[in-house]
Amino acid sequence: MSLAIECLNVTKVFGGTHALDGLSFVVKPEEIFGLIGPNGAGKTTALRIASTLLLPTSGTVKVFDLDVVHEAAEIRKAIVYLPEEAGAYRNLSGTEYLEFMARFNTKDKSEIRKMVEEAAEISGLDERLKDKAKTYSKGMKRRLLVARALMTRPKLAILDEPTSGLDVLHSYHVREVIKRYVKEHGVTVLLSSHNMLEVEHLCDRVALINKGKIVAEGKPQELKEKFGSTNLEEVFAKVVGLA
């Protein structure tokens, strides 16, 4: 079986700044893989390259054996990308927004209805889907957007900080949805997060990234055992010399 993502020695230079500096990792099909690190570590840049939104300065990235530079159009048919700061149309209701987005994937009315019904279940927003998005809290809006991303059942979902800024209950809902979708529908997930404690319970494998480089990679429990730490924050601190 081919890899979902293969990232080999990727660099990305903005001006004189190396946002990515020889980044290499692989994501297996039907796993949740997390790029974990502080703000500014290069996580979002890596996700945007995998999503075909940025070109690497050097190195190669393949998504299901397709090259992000030369076969971007084919890749986009199989993936969905959710940016950290994505928004919904303020004056549409939740349901109207989902219907609007579903139409980008199909013109078949029955398929649109199925997608919206699935998204409604994913979001857990119930009657609030009738209300305009501008009345939603940040947590409600994020749940709507995650539902929009997953309702198409993509082969690969690339999620940038999917629970950033959410309270405990909204974060829990989003994490459980992601785990359930991988299990039930065979979706592969690449996500970024600076919340290392949270992703211990979400990701099958993680790569700790600092200054555009992978500094440690593996299953959360294996990394904790290897570095004699109780959590991934301690692992990261030891790896980068802060502990």
DSSP 3-state of 210? strand
- The whole-number average pLDDT for the span 220-242 is 91
Express each pLDDT in 14-70 by its tens digit: 988 999 999 999 999 999 999 998 888 899 999 999 999 999 999 999 999 999 999
pLDDT reported for residue 217: 95
Domain encompassing residue 191:
5-239
Residues whose CB falls within 8 Å of the CB of residue 7, separated by 6 or more in sequence, listed in order: 23, 24, 25, 26, 46, 49, 50, 59, 60, 61
Q: What is the mean pLDDT of residues 84-104?
A: 92
pLDDT at 51: 97
What is the pLDDT, as a whole number, of residue 164?
80
Q: What pLDDT is stored for residue 195 in this prediction?
A: 84
pLDDT of residue 129: 96
Number of domains in the chain: 1
Q: Which residue has the tokens 């893989």?
A: 33
User: What are the pLDDT digits (tens) for 141-168?
Assistant: 999 999 999 999 999 999 999 988 788 8
Residues 6+ apart with CB under 8 A from 16: none
Mean pLDDT of the residues in the chain:
92
The answer to whether 166 touches 138, Cβ cutoff 8 Å, is yes
What pLDDT shows up at residue 201?
84
Q: Is the pLDDT of residue 243 over 60?
A: no
CATH assignment at residue 90: 3.40.50.300
